[in-house]
Amino acid sequence: MDKTKRRDVAIKILSVFLAFLLWLYVTSEQDPETGIEISNVPVKLVNVEALSKNSLVLLGNPDGYTIKITVKGRTSKVVNLKPYEFTAEANMATSYVAKGKNSIPVEIKDWPKDIEIPNQGFYINVELDELNERNFKVSLQTDIKTKEGYAAMPAEYKPEEVVIKGAAKYIGSINSVIAKVQAEGATSDIVTSVPIQVLDKNGGQITELEVLPKTIDVVIPVKKSKEVPVNIKTTGFLPNGVHLKSITPSPDKVSIIGDDNVINNIKSIDTFPIDLNGISSNAVRTTKLNIPKGITLINSSDTINANINVEVTTSRQFNVPVNYSNLPSDLTAEPLANNVVVTLYGHESVLNDISPGDLSATIDLSSAPADGGEFEYAPNITTPPSVEIKDVNPSKIKVRISKKQ
């Protein structure tokens, strides 16, 4: 019996061994060991912040690094491998780095079971630049469209300056640092926070830089507005013989903004007085607007030009023919002078518009003596309005009166 049992055990062991050999044979034939290349295995950069201790910064996208690895294993294990099944890291704190291109070793930290990676000598090339930090003024760009009857006042924002950190290459390409605010149909104050944009000379955004802070706080007051005329105030007097023809402001209207209870009472905006003393010809004087408290100008300056037009008071002579009237029918009259010289006094522009035909000199002979003779009569001078008669020469004219034959 013992012999028989021993023989059975031996047969069983031999069967297992033969089965194992058979399995090895089948496996090697049906699922052989092979090696394949896995591309685009992502590499995670760790301890990137350590670069700043050496005043360095990474150029480019830190998530854009990959390596190619060769793995070995059974065909069934390796044929469907994906890049994301491997964990690869490059430690930026354990390598000597400097400005420019650097070769950084990559360590495979994790991979699928039953897979062999025969070669661990992997590297990535990274480019580093000097880490710079500069302060930049922020330019606020506003596009505010208010409802009719309202207007936006100048914006206030904080901070007006930001700190920008990053690679010297990108810092050097900064052309402007801006923030934009837009609104449509505004009727009340605009209070908002807007992001900072860092732009190059072509207007493209530079996204590789760190901006501190990332946003600014903006307040844009929106108030009631209206347009009112400019009223010029004067002081002093023009010289004798000089007349103020007109004085007009340029611009003649301004737009104002303010609280309802203030702006509703404003009908016009006065200027500070313009001194008229010594002005003897047309002139332009610049003066400031006297802006009431609580009122702000919009889209215009607080100074205006006053266009002062003056004219002198002068005299002009006219040769006027003498006529007579109301002579009794039985008498004849013969003036011994047919014309008088009339000197008029008035504004130059008025005198320039007068012609001799606008004047008349008439002698009333209704009281002429019936027995005739020579008599002196003062002619009645008729002139256009707005002038004065300064002189008539001769002041009297001799007229010979005779009876009709």
pLDDT reported for residue 27? 47
| Spatial separation of the C-alpha atoms in residues 208 and 167, rounded to whole Å | 8
**280: Cβ–Cβ under 8 A, 6 or more apart, which residues?**
238, 239, 242, 310, 312
Three-state SS annotation for 29-43: HHCCEEEEEEEEEEE
Query: What Å distances lie between residue 86 and 35, 67, 187, 277, CA to CA?
Result: 16, 11, 59, 94
pLDDT at 330: 87
CA–CA dist 346, 380 (Å, integer): 19
For residue 321, say if its preceding peptide bond is cis, omega within 30 degrees of 0: no
**pLDDT of the residue at 96:** 87
pLDDT at residue number 5: 66
CB 270 within 8 A of CB 249: no
Give CA–CA dist 385/329, Å, rounded: 34
Neighbours of 61 (CB within 10 A): 8
The C-alpha angle with vertex 365 and arms to 361 and 371, in degrees rounded to 5, equals 145
- In order along its 405 residues, the chain shows pLDDT tens digits of 566 666 666 676 766 655 555 544 544 556 788 989 999 999 999 999 999 998 999 998 899 999 999 999 999 888 889 999 999 999 999 878 999 999 999 999 999 998 998 877 899 999 999 999 999 999 999 999 999 989 888 899 999 999 999 999 999 999 999 999 999 999 999 999 999 999 999 999 999 999 999 999 999 999 999 999 999 999 999 998 888 989 999 999 999 998 888 888 899 999 999 999 999 899 999 999 999 998 989 878 899 999 999 988 889 999 999 998 998 888 888 888 889 999 999 988 889 999 989 999 999 998 888 888 888 999 999 999 989 999 999 999 999 988 887
Amino acid 79: pLDDT: 87
Give pTM, 2 decimals.
0.59
